[in-house]
Amino acid sequence: MTNSLAVTSLQPARLLIPWRDPHTVSPARLSEHIAALEQACCEQPQSAGLHTVLGMAYAMNYDVYRSMDALEEAVRLDASHFFAQFKYAELLYRIRTLHRAEEETLKALELAGNTWQLSMARAQLKDIRHMLRKGHERPALTRAFASPALVAVLASAVIALALLLR
């Protein structure tokens, strides 16, 4: 493993996270860390902490689906793990699934074990609620696009026909 990534048998979820500032980590270095984290998750599949850090690394690499999978796995492995819950809620917040992010952040708020965790969860909840009030949520895809698309195609055909007949 790399020298800045430490996984010990005594503390499997204690990792030195090299991305305090994501702009200072090169894509190649990030790929190395992701590979090391994937290996660590294979070696210790029950570690919610490892899956949480892997989800964070995937998110830094703009791989939302893998990040979501890793964070959901972390929450599934340990429903009482604050950072797994908090980072999962944060990812939902960042992809603008705000109602779900609010629900998950409330769960993280209940899991907060100290004032620092409590303040982080409260700040995130405040931002989410502010964005909900301002209408920044991504629209829910709850209905099919077939009928609106058909109407748009027909309207375009009518307009094109009207222009040709002039």
Question: What is the reported pLDDT for 149?
Answer: 77
Q: Which pairs count as long-range contacts for 34-41, CB under 8 Å and 24+ apart, including other chains?
A: 34/58, 34/61, 36/1, 36/2, 36/5, 36/7, 37/5, 39/1, 40/1, 40/7, 40/12, 40/15, 41/70
- Answer yes or no: pTM beyond 0.75: no
Question: What is the reported pLDDT for 7?
Answer: 42
Contact 77, 48 (CB under 8 A): yes
Question: What is the reported pLDDT for 45?
Answer: 95
Over the chain (166 residues), the average pLDDT of each successive run of 10 is 40 50 79 93 95 93 94 96 96 93 96 95 95 78 67 86 84
Look up residue 4 and give its two tokens: 């800045």
Q: Which residue has the tokens 């779900």?
A: 100
With a CB cutoff of 8 Å and minimum separation 6, the contacts of 125 are 102, 105, 106, 109
Q: Which domains does the chain have, with CATH numbers?
A: 22-165 (1.25.40.10)
